[in-house]
Structure 1
């Protein structure tokens, strides 16, 4: 699940009808790590907004058909959570670092609790800074997120099935997997420290 959340390239394919677009796949991903967190980020410039973000721009009172700057910043921290900052701003309005009034931004908080070797519990919440008093928009976003997560669920369950059936195979790691790989290393180091401390 952390692999999924730390690399949003899959949006292009898995979420093509909502938040996905080819420009995600075309934009480079930057991965950084400190002792406390792993951060992956992707910034896309002068692109059309996909369906979800057109709706968000409308809700924020911004033009929905203008080219935008879009960003995805994913932060993994021990023991088990990923915080994702996603947003768009009309091109030429400062983008990620621009004035808040020009953007549509959401923060998604994801918490993963291991259950067994091959399963986990997944909890999420989402906050937005635009049209926060619009209950109808909240309902539309909640339903959209539910559909997006169901698309993820199908993919993740199939991946877990493959992993469980082929225990002898190692995962193929690509450059875009750096965030997930570094997150796994951080988890492995924490487990090793806890194991050594209890031994």
Structure 2
């Protein structure tokens, strides 16, 4: 039975595609599993448990010989599928000598890993973040090592009311906290839609629009369980038809987020910010990325403080407000995934 707060039968971002290189092993903990990553000679990525079958020495401290991993302690050799193909001082190889290898998919500039049952690893279930490599969009992103449970980051993204208070100098103003919103949900998904009509733009968006006056602002948050969120955000000159679908008098961006559990109290927070205008302006790409990195640093600080408060107050619980509706649905979708996973485990045990 899954005793964690995260399902295992799911696709999680393990790395940006450029992080995993040929001839180099990279260690990273995903869903409480220490893993080692590298690329084979043909460029395809590999992930396996970072512990030798023999004495559990970290394989990431060893070396690559061709496509094979050599243990740093006693020299056992593993092929990319995790099977041991050489043992020192003996010709017969114990047939149980192997380490677990994991399904990987490269998509949308990310390497996705399936830490659960490999038979369930359906490529069609990789969340859609196509804006990250769509030729009609451009942008960049980073990875935050977050000192908080991944669901706290999901809560944060599903309720942007906090912008008024956490990000008041950049993307937040009083209008965000007071604007109405709608929430709906589907199979493994949830959406929060908020329109802020005829309001002064916050500093970041006012600078992007580049003209004075009131704006109509949108925040459309799409969640895919367990932890991927695409934020469709932007502003347009008030009264030019943005709420009806005409965004031609505005600026539009997507903030792409996928939060991968490292442990119960830490996460790898992968994010990118992309836009569909001035595609060739690299300086704008850098300024967008750096601005969002600064904004997310504020989120990082508040979420780490929240996680610490949870540790210090184990007898206290969360209370929900109306603004928490999106996060509540997201958590419910995660719980549904975990319940299905546990049912399969119980069925297999019978």
**1:41 matches 2:193:** yes
| Structure richer in helix, relative to its length | 1
**1:197 matches 2:350:** no
Structure 2 residue aligned with 1:50: 202
Q: What SS does structure 1 have at the residue aligned with 2:344?
A: helix
Q: Which structure 2 segments of 5+ residues have no match? A: 1-152
Aligned-residue CA RMSD in angstroms? 1.1
2:175 pairs, out of 23, 29, 48, with 23
**1:149 matches 2:301:** no
Structure 2 residue aligned with 1:117: 264
Structure 2 residue aligned with 1:181: 328
Task: Quote the Cα distance in structure 2 between the aligned partners of 1:100 and 1:134.
Answer: 21
Matches within 5 A, 1:44-193: 44-58=196-210, 64-193=211-340
| Displacement of 1:79 | 2.7
TM-score, with structure 2 as normaliser: 0.54
| C-alpha contact 2:240 2:249 (8 A) present in aligned 1 | yes
Task: Quote the Cα distance in structure 1 between the aligned partners of 2:318 and 2:246.
Answer: 41
Report runs of 4+ in structure 1 exceeding 4 Å deviation: none
| Displacement of 1:166 | 1.7
| C-alpha contact 1:80 1:111 (8 A) present in aligned 2 | yes
1:11 pairs, out of 137, 147, 163, with 163
| Displacement of 1:117 | 1.1
- Report how many residues are paired: 194
| Displacement of 1:96 | 3.5
| C-alpha contact 2:258 2:270 (8 A) present in aligned 1 | yes
Q: What SS does structure 2 have at the residue aligned with 1:4?
A: helix
Q: What SS does structure 2 have at the residue aligned with 1:99?
A: coil
Q: What SS does structure 1 have at the residue aligned with 2:201?
A: coil
| Displacement of 1:97 | 3.3
Task: Quote the Cα distance in structure 2 between the aligned partners of 1:98 and 1:83.
Answer: 18
The farther-off stretch of 105-114 and 132-141 is 132-141
| Displacement of 1:34 | 1.3
The farther-off stretch of 46-55 and 90-99 is 90-99
| Displacement of 1:132 | 1.7
TM-score, with structure 1 as normaliser: 0.94
Q: What SS does structure 1 have at the residue aligned with 2:248?
A: helix
